[in-house]
Structure 1
Amino acid sequence: MDDQFQLLFDKLQIEMQKQNMELQTTITKNIMESMDEKLHPIIAENKILKTKLEKLEIEVESLKRAKKQNNLIFFGIKEDEKSNLELLQKVKKILKTDLSIKLEDYEVSNIYRIGKKPSDKARPTLVTFVNEWKKNEVTKMKKNLKDIYISEDYTNDVLEKRKMLQPQLMEERKKGNIAYLKFDKIIIKGNNIKNDKRKRETSTSPQCNNQPKKQQNLMPSNISRLNAYDLMRFRSNSLPSTSTDNKQ
């Protein structure tokens, strides 16, 4: 009897465990479905907000770039001026001497040193031009500057991306390609010297091969024409001689 009771008890215990597992699974499933129903509109709303945020970030970045569009940063200008007006006169003199560009006072809307004043080296100078075309005129001639370096006034986001692209830029230049950075993108062009050599080789080689063939084709026709001409000439010369002989 004790054994039968023990078996019955074990079966009941196993059955209760199964029911508990099924009940837990059912409750968990119901809770998850209920949570999904409640979270679904929240997730959809978050996606919409994320899209709006990305658009706002793009707009803010474009506004920052537009604000810096007419700016140039000058590096290497000796820092001994007493005012921004004296600093402007320095910039004007540099552009006139090195680039032969005359800059008027009214063509600059703002000029100042960037950062805190150090004791060992001169701070960069930011110049804001009134017109973009004047800024572009200076940029095109910047290679002729002596002891002065000019850079665009990039946003922090653009500077970060340019820094990340530096290893790829160096790698492309090692390959012999023409590579440079334009704002936050890298521009890569193939080596024009190699391409020109290949084009010249392909363009000249067929002409050299075809020339003997043309000469070979022309030679037999010229010979045949000359032979026919000589033959007709021989016949024309032979006819009068026979007629004079018969008269005599």
Structure 2
Amino acid sequence: MDQQFQLLFEEMKIEMQRQTIELRESITNSIMDRMDEKLTPIIAENKKLKQKINTLEKEVEYLKREKKGNNLVIFGIEEGEKSISELFDNFKKILKDNINIDLQQREINKLYRLGKNKIAHKPRPILCSFINKWKKEEILKNKRNLKEIHVSEDYTKEVLEKRKALMPKLNEEKKKGNIAFIKYDQLIVIEQNTNADKRKRELSTSPQLPSKIHTKKHQMPSSLKSNRSNAFDIMRSHSLTNISNNSKQ
């Protein structure tokens, strides 16, 4: 009897454990479903906000780029001017002497040194903001001929960091013999195609084509010859007919 009660008790215990597990899973699933229902709109809203933030970041970057679009940063002009007018005269003289560009005050919006404190043994760079972009572009096109100074685009802090990070890769590509340069914040690499040169050499040393092929080019098809002869015959017969008719008249 006691053994039967013991078996019954074990069965009840197992059943209770099974029901407890099922109840726990049911409650867990129910809670998760409710959480999903509440989280789904929040996740969707979060996705929309991320897209808006991404769009706003691009717009801000565009505005920053446009704001700096007419600017140049000049390096190497000795610091010692007593006024902005004197600084302008120094810059104007360098441009005229080096690349023969005549700069007028009316073409400049702003001109000032960057940084508050003077750097020892090194002149502070100068920011020059032009009224029109064409004058800035003209200076950039001739910047290689500038001997006394160096000019550069006015990049944002983020772009400067990207350009700095790309420098090791730029040097690596140049060592490989490729043409590489940084355009704004992107690395442009033009690989040297040695296969093209090899192909050119192979073509230049290839034997000439047989003479028969050349003669075929200039050979007139027999059909054209027959057509030409038929045309002459028709013209001759037509002219003879006209002559005979005229003689009868």
TM-score category of the 2 structures, normalised to the smaller one:
0.7 to 0.9
- Which residue in 2 is equivalent to 1:210? 208
1:185, CA displacement in angstroms? Answer: 1.3
Residue of structure 2 equivalent to 1:8: 8
Give the Cα–Cα distance (whole angstroms) in 2 for the partners of residues 159 and 86 of structure 1: 30
1:209-246 CA deviation, whole Å, 9 max, x = no partner?
117x549x99xxxxxxxxxxxxxxxxxxxxxxxxxxxx
Task: Output the CA distance in 2 between the equivalents of 1:202 and 1:22.
Answer: 79
Q: What one-letter code is carried by the residue in structure 2 that aligns with 1:55?
A: T
Please provide the CA RMSD for this pair: 2.2
Q: CA deviation at 1:2?
A: 4.3
Please identify which structure carries the higher helix content: 1
Counterpart in 2 of 1:139? Answer: 140
TM-score using structure 2 length: 0.78
Distance in 1, matches of 2:49 and 2:9, equals: 59
Structure 2 unaligned segments of length 5 or more: list them. Answer: 216-249
1:13 to partner: Cα distance: 2.3
2:168 is equivalent to residue 167 of structure 1:
yes
Amino acid at match of 2:170: L
Question: In the alignment, residue 96 of structure 2 is paired with which amino acid?
Answer: K
TM-score (normalizing by structure 1): 0.78
Residue 142 (structure 1) shift: 0.7
Q: Say if 1:23 and 1:196 are closer, same or farther in 2 by CA, change over 3 A.
A: closer
Deviation at 1:88, TM superposition (A): 1.3
- 1:210 is aligned with what amino acid? Q
User: 1:66-92, CA deviations, whole angstroms, 9 ceiling, x for partnerless residues?
Assistant: 000011101111111122222111111
Alpha-carbon separation, structure 2, partners of 1:27 and 1:198 = 74
**What do the CA deviations read for 1:181-221 (whole angstroms, capped 9, x no partner)?**
111112222337x5774354134112xx117x549x99xxx
Shift of 1:157: 2.3
Superposed displacement of residue 8, structure 1: 3.1
Shift of 1:62: 0.5
SS at the partner of 2:124?
Answer: coil
Taking the aligned partners of 2:10 and 2:59, their CA distance within structure 1 comes to: 71
Residue number in structure 1 paired with 2:150: 149
Q: How far apart are the structure 2 equivalents of 1:127 and 1:97?
A: 18
Inter-partner Cα distance in structure 2 for 1:92 and 1:137: 14
Q: How many residues align?
A: 213
Between the aligned partners of 1:5 and 1:179, the Cα distance in structure 2 is 88
- Distance, in Å, in 1 between the alignment partners of 2:208 and 2:8 is 105
- Asked if structure 1 preserves the Cα contact closer than 8 Å seen for 2:110 and 2:130, the reply is yes
Deviates more, 1:75-84 or 1:137-146: 75-84
1:54 Cα deviation after fit: 0.8
- 1:217-232 alignment, distance < 5 Å: none
Tell me the equivalent position of 2:238: none
CA positional deviation for 1:180:
0.7
Q: Which runs of 5+ in 1 are unaligned?
A: 219-248
Give the match's secondary structure for 1:147: coil
Matches within 5 A, 1:7-86: 7-86=7-86
Shift of 1:147: 3.4
Distance in 1 (alpha carbons) for counterparts of 2:9 and 2:200: 98
